[in-house]
Amino acid sequence: MAAEKERGVEWRINVADGTSRALEAESRFGLQRFMSKVGSFFQRAWRIGVNEPKKSIHCVKVGVALSLVSLFYYMRPLYEGVGGNAMWAVMTVVVVFEYTVGATLSKCVNRATGTLLAGALGVGVHWVASQAGERFEPIILQTSVFLLATAATFSRFIPSIKARFDYGAMIFILTFSLISVSGYRVEKLFEMAHHRLSTIAIGTSICIITTIVFFPVWAGTELHYLITNNMDKLSDSLDGCVTDYFSSNSQTSEKTLQGYKCALNSKAAEESLANFARWEPAHGKFNFGHPWLEYVTVGASIRSCAYCIEALNGSMNSKAKVPDVFKKHFGNFCVRLSNKSSAVLKELAVVMSTMKKPTKIDFMVEEMKSAVQELENALKSLSKQPIQTAEAKAGDVVTLVEVVPLVTVSSLLIEIAARTEKLAGAVNGVAEKAEFEVETSEEAKKGQKLKGGKKIGQEDEEDKAMKTLQKV
Amino acid sequence: MAAEKERGVEWRINVADGTSRALEAESRFGLQRFMSKVGSFFQRAWRIGVNEPKKSIHCVKVGVALSLVSLFYYMRPLYEGVGGNAMWAVMTVVVVFEYTVGATLSKCVNRATGTLLAGALGVGVHWVASQAGERFEPIILQTSVFLLATAATFSRFIPSIKARFDYGAMIFILTFSLISVSGYRVEKLFEMAHHRLSTIAIGTSICIITTIVFFPVWAGTELHYLITNNMDKLSDSLDGCVTDYFSSNSQTSEKTLQGYKCALNSKAAEESLANFARWEPAHGKFNFGHPWLEYVTVGASIRSCAYCIEALNGSMNSKAKVPDVFKKHFGNFCVRLSNKSSAVLKELAVVMSTMKKPTKIDFMVEEMKSAVQELENALKSLSKQPIQTAEAKAGDVVTLVEVVPLVTVSSLLIEIAARTEKLAGAVNGVAEKAEFEVETSEEAKKGQKLKGGKKIGQEDEEDKAMKTLQKV
């Protein structure tokens, strides 16, 4: 002990022969590294829990639902009512309880339908087989299991079925195999079917109640936020990268600049949320039968804008130096166009999130188009009016190669404007199908004020951008 | 009947009062529409089955595995050995059997580990609870179910766990709840655990044998093909759209032109395949521990090229007319560069698919770079040497606006070349990590011949492109 103290704190492990051995530097290092890895894992987990309280609440909800269902085992009267099959209630809760209401409902419906269909078919096949005599019975049962399992598995590859009934097909295979196979031994098929269905009913109702009553997470609302957030991020990215490019002292944060990448990667999330949202009852501002599939179209339009912004980012990072004088001349028009486009994107996000009929969009799209026209005119005039600079003498011809990056940026901005217009069309489609309300006069006034305020803010921003440009 | 015959074939339905009634035109129409819908559904299903025989084979494999496992019910000696728990074997097969070997293995390992861990923990908690006296027993059990279910559900939100152990966490919750809850009633916990584990072992081994022995579909191989196919498609799209743009009588099929879209949307597939492939043993050309995650990096580089090709397609569809003379002048260089880039992409696909160390890539990348240089020089010279045309008189200044689309296309092509170079770097990374073999001298000779042939073919293509251009 004294020797140990002399050497300071030390790591020791017990060895098989009863003595203890000091850990070598290397393995101690390994242990430290392992501990720090575990530490950082828990840190990350903690951050997820803190940043997304909805997810933490979901975990507690699963715990609550399981506790509720396990009461069926603890209370004797219930236990005797549902019998050993109560296990199926626990299983249903574990398997069916999902993050969003839509996903849970979809799984509940799938599970119930799959079980019912397969149960009816299983009893039918079992009856036919029992009529066929002892010799053919196992053959008929085996063949039916083989054929139906093959067919149901195949149906899971068909996109339209995979999207909505994948889980149901699996439950169908499971139930049919279990029934037609166990029916050979257990003679009380109907009783078993009755028990299975009642326990599944208990499990699904506990799930549905827990998921809807306590802090529900609606797939529709999540999709709604995902789409509007993506539009907002796209708008900020576009604005940020164009302003940064044309003025040296504007510094948009990396996070804002990279915002468009969220839109690039959200196709799968959008599609699955839209599929789940279709199962959900009316909630919040959304009726049952809200055109969720149209949101997928809007998402695709957003992505098509995002691809262009990606290319724009790429060409802005190219090393080619542009003379400041051209940058200044073009900058005015490019920043103006990108401001107009991002304003349209922002307004579309507002339309989607407030669900009011778009009133200003047409006007803003026209403004955007006129900005496109101005930029095109600037391109036209550039070669006709030689620009006076310190470097270039009067009458000098503009060297094309000097403006190549600017021309590219300009035409990508024009392309982005065209795609933004298409996006506006897609949003209009949603507004019509979902019958967005018209603003009442009071709301309109409020909106006017708000928009007025916004417009002033926006012009301020434009002015700022122009000023920074003129300083260059 | 006679009256019916006079009116020709007719649809009749039975009505509640015993008479039959002819179907109205509208509902007959509805029925027809329904039938045609059903018909087209089966047509689509048939097409999936014919075009992707692997999927059809998978369905048959599921049928075979289920038939095998149901033998455990039919054969009395086995039945008595595994008892009523044989149900779990059927369930394991239905739930665990996936399309690829990797996914099946991953689910098997997850299921076994989850069950073992939860079983051990469940028995432990049950022992602690039984020591605490009858009053505290249900409280301890309930609390442990609540806490562990909450924690395990939370772990499913952590990306690193979700990617690999999502299913295991679910099975953990399921088994723990079932054991700690049913343990309260059933006194023979250990016997039950033994049965559960043996049936799961039977189920998983049947799955693993069926999936590996009969026509295995390896996630690794699928990923391999997905990546190489995407590169090929990208190369064809790039070549096709540039050639189509610069020559009026070249018509690439729409399918080839839109090929790059496959790459845009395959992120999710690539990531899940890479995760599954990590579970797979050595197969074909791939060892265990093949750097599958590097393939995801390559996939991301492919997508970054695809974004640019998307933007390129967009700007090529713009209405702005370019004078033929400029198109011809630039076309030579643009087509040349796109040919070089797409040749690099094709060669990278060959490297990935043959898994031989890239030998020609560096050289081809240099060629591509010199094509970039030539295009840049062409841009530079354009404004200095006024082009002699019928329209423009000698000495005329090039009007910038006329060449805007060409400049955009050129700089996007340059950007695509830069991204292709990065992709080559990513492929090099895979080649190093996976220790691709060096070509033997014989193979090299063969390759030389092949490549020679290819090169001639390629030059032919280039020549053809040039010729079509000159005709314009």
**Closest by Cβ to A401, choosing from B90, B155, B379:** B379
B392, B397, B401, B403: CA torsion to nearest 10: 70
Cβ–Cβ under 8 Å, residues B115 and B175 = yes
CB of A82 less than 8 A from some CB of B: no
Is there a contact between A229 and A262 (Cβ–Cβ < 8 Å)? yes
Sign of CA dihedral A74, A80, A84, A90: negative
**Distance separating alpha carbons of residues A178 and B72, to the nearest angstrom:** 12
Enclosing H/E stretch for A452: helix A441-471
Q: Give yes or no for residue A168 having a pLDDT over 90.
A: yes
- DSSP symbols for A87-156: HHHHHHHHHH--SSHHHHHHHHHHHHHHHHHHHHHHHHHHHHHHHT-TTTHHHHHHHHHHHHHHHHHHHT
* Residue A293: pLDDT over 80: yes
Question: Which residue from A minimizes the CA distance to B156?
Answer: A59
Q: How far is the C-alpha of A455 from the C-alpha of A343, rounded, in Å? A: 9
Is A97 in the same domain as A130?
yes
* Coil/strand/helix, residue A21: strand
Q: Is residue A378 part of a domain?
A: yes
* Interface residue B307 vs chain A (CB under 8 A): yes
Q: What is the pLDDT of residue A352?
A: 87
Helix (H) or strand (E) holding A14: strand A12-14
Is the pLDDT at A94 greater than 70, yes or no? yes
pLDDT of residue A223: 92
ipTM beyond 0.85?
A: no
> How crowded is the C-beta side of B379, counted as CA atoms within 13 Å?
27
CA distance B135 to B71: 45
The reply to whether residue A310 touches residue B307, judged by beta carbons under 8 angstroms, is yes
Instruction: Please answer yes or no on whether A94 and B304 come within 8 Å at the CB atom.
Output: no
pLDDT at residue B386 greater than cutoff 50: no
pLDDT of residue B223: 92
* Least confidently predicted of B24-33, B119-128, B451-460: B451-460
pLDDT, tens digit, for every residue of A379-415? 777 655 443 333 444 345 556 667 778 888 888 898 8
B56 → closest Cβ in A73, A154, A412:
A154
Task: Flag whether pLDDT at A454 surpasses 50.
Answer: no
Average pLDDT on A351-363 reads 84
Whether B293 and B412 map to the same domain: the answer is: yes
Spatial distance between the Cα atoms of B125 and B108, rounded to a whole number of angstroms: 25
Residue A197 contacts B, CB cutoff 8 Å = no
Average pLDDT over residues B180-192: 65
Is A33 inside a domain boundary?
no
CA atoms of B141 and B129, how far apart (whole Å)? 7
Higher pLDDT, A445 or A200: A200
First CA to last CA distance, chain A: 72
Report the amino acid identity of residue A327: K
Please tell me the distance in Å from A318's CA to the nearest CA on chain B.
8
Tell me whether residues A412 and B315 touch, CB distance under 8 A: yes
* Residue A29 domain flag: no
Do A106 and A235 share a domain, yes or no?
no
Q: Is the pLDDT of residue A316 over 70?
A: yes
- Which pLDDT does position A445 carry in this prediction? 52
- Indicate the pTM of the whole model: 0.79
- % of chain A residues with pLDDT over 70: 77
Report how far residue A1's alpha carbon sits from residue A266's, in angstroms, rounded to the nearest whole number.
Answer: 60
Q: Is the pLDDT of residue A438 over 80?
A: no
Is A129 in CB contact (< 8 Å) with chain B? no
- Report how far Cα A317 is from the mean position of its chain's Cα atoms: 29
- The mean pLDDT value for B163-167 works out to 89
Q: How many CA atoms lie within 13 A of B277 on its CB side?
A: 26
Q: Could you give the 3-state DSSP secondary structure of residue A283?
A: strand
Confidence of residue A373 (pLDDT cuts 50, 70, 90): confident
- The pair phi, psi for residue B421, each rounded to 5°, is -60, -40
CA distance B403 to chain A (A): 10
SS3 per residue for chain B? CHHHHHCCCCCEEECCCCCEEECCHHHHHHHHHHHHHHHHHHHHHHHHHHHCHHHHHHHHHHHHHHHHHHHHHHCHHHHHHHHHHHHHHHHHHHHHCCCCHHHHHHHHHHHHHHHHHHHHHHHHHHHHHHHCCCCCHHHHHHHHHHHHHHHHHHHCCCHHHHHHHHHHHHHHHHHHHHHHHHCCCCCCHHHHHHHHHHHHHHHHHHHHHHHHHCCCCCHHHHHHHHHHHHHHHHHHHHHHHHHHHHCCCCCCCHHHHCCHHHHHCCHHHHHHHHHHHCCCCCECCECCCCCHHHHHHHHHHHHHHHHHHHHHHHHHCCCCCCCHHHHHHHHHHHHHHHHHHHHHHHHHHHHHHHCECCCCHHHHHHHHHHHHHHHHHHHHHHHHCCCCCCCCCCCCCCCHHHHHHHHHHHHHHHHHHHHHHHHHHHHHHHHHHCCCECCCHHHHHHHHHHHHHHHHHHHHHHHHHHHHHHHC
Domain boundary among the residues A170, A197, A213 is at: A213
Name the phi and psi angles at A138, rounded to 5.
-65, -30
The confidence score (pLDDT) of residue A302 equals 92
For the cut 70, the answer to whether the pLDDT of residue B247 exceeds it is: yes
Inter-CA distances, A181 with A129, A192, B71, Å: 11, 13, 9
Q: Which residue has the higher pLDDT, B463 or B173?
A: B173
pLDDT digits (tens, 9 = 90+) for A254-279: 788 888 888 888 888 899 999 999 88
C-alpha–C-alpha distance, residues B193 and B85, integer Å: 10
Residue B27 lies in a domain: no
pLDDT exceeds cutoff 90 at B169:
yes
Picking from A213, A236, A251, the residue at the C-terminal end of a domain is A213
Q: Do B401 and A383 touch (CB under 8 A)?
A: yes
When divided into structural domains, chain B yields a total of 2
Crossing angle between the packed helical segments A267-277 and A292-316, to the nearest 10 degrees: 170
Does residue B450 register a pLDDT over 80?
Answer: no
Distances (CA, A) of A23 to A30, A472, B195: 10, 63, 42
CA distance A234 to B3: 69
Q: Is the pLDDT of residue B472 over 70?
A: no
pLDDT, residue A320, reads: 65
In 3D space, the residue among B297, B292, B298 whose CA is nearest the CA of residue B102 turns out to be: B292
Q: Which of B267, B311, B403 sits opposite A265 (nearest CB)?
A: B267
A208 with A249, same domain? no
CB contact under 8 A, A308 and B314: yes
Q: Which domain holds residue B225?
A: 219-387+396-471
- A170 and A251 assigned to the same domain: no
From the list A70, A264, A384, which residue is nearest B177 (CB)? A70
pLDDT band at A360 (very low <50, low <70, confident <90, very high): confident
Work out the minimum CA distance from B262 to partner chain A, whole angstroms: 13
Q: Tell me the pLDDT tens digit for each residue of B316-335.
A: 876 666 777 777 777 888 88
Indicate if A417 and A306 belong to the same structural domain.
yes
pLDDT of B362 higher than 70: yes
Q: Are residues A207 and A243 in the same domain?
A: no
The mean pLDDT of B383-406, rounded to a whole number, is: 54
Q: Select from B308, B380, B404 the Cβ nearest to the Cβ of A411.
A: B404
Rounded CA separation A6/A20 (Å): 17
What is the identity of the amino acid at A122? G
Instruction: Write the CA distances from B186 to A86, B126, B133, B139, B182, integer angstroms.
Output: 13, 12, 17, 18, 6
CB burial class (10 A; 0-12, 13-18, 19+) of residue B314? buried
Region B147-176: mean pLDDT is 90
Could you tell me which residues come within 8 angstroms of residue B68 by beta carbon, excluding any fewer than 6 positions away?
Answer: B206, B210
The whole-angstrom separation of Cα B163 and Cα B272 is 8
**Could you tell me the pLDDT band of residue A28, with boundaries at 50, 70 and 90?**
low
Contact B409, B317 (CB under 8 A): no
What is the C-alpha to C-alpha distance for residues A383 and A387, in angstroms, rounded to an integer? 9
Q: Does B203 lie in the same domain as B289?
A: no
Residues B192, B228 share a domain: no
pLDDT at res. B230? 92
Instruction: Output the pLDDT for position A194.
Output: 76
CB pairs under 8 A between A and B: 238
Q: Is residue B71 part of a domain?
A: yes
Which pLDDT belongs to residue A319? 64
DSSP-assigned states of every residue in A303-353: HHHHHHHHHHHHHHTS-----HHHHHHHHHHHHHHHHHHHHHHHHHHHHHH
CB contact under 8 A, B95 and A174: yes
Closest to A91 (Cβ–Cβ): which among B174, B376, B401? B174
User: How much is the pLDDT for B106?
Assistant: 92
Under an 8 A CB cutoff, do B157 and A412 touch? no
A192 and A289 share one domain: no
Residue A341 · residue A413 · CB < 8 Å: yes
B355's tokens: 């898994």
DSSP single-letter state for residue A390: S
pLDDT at A466 over 60: no
Report which of residues A140 and A388 the model is more confident about.
A140
Report the gap between the CA of B356 and the closest CA in chain A (Å): 31
Enclosing H/E stretch for A20: strand A20-22
Q: Does the structure show a pLDDT above 90 at B168? A: yes
Collect all residues of chain B within an 8 Å Cβ-Cβ radius of residue A411. 315, 318, 404-405, 407-408
Query: Would the CB atoms of B149 and A66 count as touching at under 8 Å?
Result: yes
Give the closest-approach CA distance of A163 to chain B in angstroms.
15
Are the CB atoms for B346 and B297 separated by under 8 Å? no
| pLDDT band, residue B471 (cuts 50/70/90) | very low
Residue A25 belongs to a domain: no
Q: Which pair of structure tokens corresponds to residue B354? A: 């043959």
Cα torsion through B309, B315, B318, B320, rounded to 10:
-140
Average pLDDT, chain B: 78
Across chain A, mean pLDDT equals 78
CA separation, residue A177 to residues A139, A182, A267, A464 (Å): 14, 8, 36, 71
Question: Under DSSP, is residue A246 helix (H, G, I), strand (E, B) or coil?
Answer: helix
Chain A residues in contact with B60 (beta carbon < 8 A): 150
pLDDT digit string, tens, across residues B23-74: 455 555 678 888 888 888 888 888 888 888 888 899 999 999 988 888 776 6
Verify that A259 and A381 share a domain, yes or no: yes
Instruction: Tell me if chain A has a CB within 8 Å of the CB of B91.
Output: yes
Using CA atoms, how far residue B410 sits from A89, A358, A414, B413, in Å, is 64, 39, 17, 5
More confident residue, A308 or A316: A308
Q: What is the mean pLDDT of residues A58-84?
A: 73
Note the pLDDT of residue B127. Answer: 82
Share of chain A above pLDDT 90, in %: 15
Most B-contacting residue of A97, A315, A334 (CB-CB within 10 A), to test interface? A315
Domain end marker among B213, B235, B269: B213
**Whole-angstrom Cα distance, residue A238 to residue A253?**
13
Range in A449-463, B20-34, B368-382 with the lowest mean pLDDT? A449-463
Judged by DSSP in three states, A12 sits in strand
* Weakest mean pLDDT among A299-313, A369-383, B386-400: B386-400
In a domain, B48, yes or no: no
Q: Which amino acid is at B229?
A: N
**pLDDT at position B440, please?**
59
Task: Report the pLDDT value the prediction gives residue B103, as an integer from 0 to 100.
Answer: 92
Region B248-265: what's the mean pLDDT? Answer: 81
Q: Is B174 on the interface with A (CB under 8 A)?
A: yes
CATH number for B354:
1.20.58.220
Distances (CA, A) of A426 to A417, A432, B451: 14, 10, 48
Confidence band for B441, pLDDT divided at 50, 70 and 90: low
Lowest mean pLDDT among A305-319, B80-94, B178-192: B178-192
Considering the domain architecture, whether residues B337 and B197 belong to the same structural domain is answered as no
- Which residue in B231, B122, B79 sits closest to A185, CA to CA? B79
Asked whether residue A35 is assigned to any structural domain, the reply reads: no
* Segment A453-469 mean pLDDT: 43
Query: Can you tell me which residue has the tokens 């009913």?
Result: A201
| Phi then psi dihedrals of residue B20, to 5 deg | -115, 155
Nearest to B305 by CA among B271, B342, B251, B353: B342
* pLDDT the model gives residue A450: 45
Element (H, E) at A274: helix A267-277
B420 or A360, higher pLDDT: B420
